[in-house]
Amino acid sequence: MTTFLISAFLLLVLVLLLLLRPFMFPAKVEATSRRQMNAAIYREELEKLEAERTSGSISAADYEIAHAEMRQRLFQDTNEEDDRSVMGSSKITVISLCLFVSVLSAGFYFSLGDATRIAEQGNQQPMTQEGVEAMVSEFAAKMEKDPTNLKGWVMLARSYRILGRNEDAAKAYERAGDFINSDPQLLADYADVLAANANGSFAGKPLKLINEALSLDPNNLMALWLSGTASYTAGNYQAAVQTWEKLAQQLPPGSEEARSIAESISDARTKGGLSSKALVSNKGISGKIEISASLKSQVKSGDIVMVIARKSGERMPVAVLKTSAAEFPMNFALTDALAMNPSAPLSQIAEASIEVRISKTGMAKPEPGDLISAPQTVKVGASNVKLVIDQIRQ
pLDDT tens-digit map of 246-301: 898 888 866 778 778 887 887 788 788 776 544 445 578 988 999 999 998 899 88
Architecture of domain 285-392: Sandwich (2.60)
CA distance 385 to 288: 6
Average pLDDT across the chain, whole number: 76
Residue closest to 357 by CA, chosen among 322, 331, 330: 322
What pLDDT score does 244 carry? 92
Q: Taking the domains of the chain in order of start, what are their residue ranges?
A: 2-122, 181-272, 285-392
Confidence of residue 25 (pLDDT cuts 50, 70, 90): low
pLDDT-above-70 percentage for the chain: 66
Shared fold status for 181-272 and 285-392: no
Q: Is the pLDDT reported for residue 30 higher than 50? A: no
Least confident of 161-165, 194-198, 211-215: 161-165
CA distance 216 to 304: 16
Q: Is the pLDDT reported for residue 164 higher than 80? A: yes
CA distance 139 to 72: 18
CA distance 146 to 155: 13
Range 118-142 average pLDDT: 69
Architecture of domain 181-272: Alpha Horseshoe (1.25)
Answer with the residue of higher pLDDT: 74 or 376: 376
Q: Is the pLDDT reported for residue 139 higher than 80? A: yes
Least confident of 263-272, 298-307, 311-320: 263-272
Q: What is the pTM of this model?
A: 0.46
Cα distance between the two ends of the chain: 75
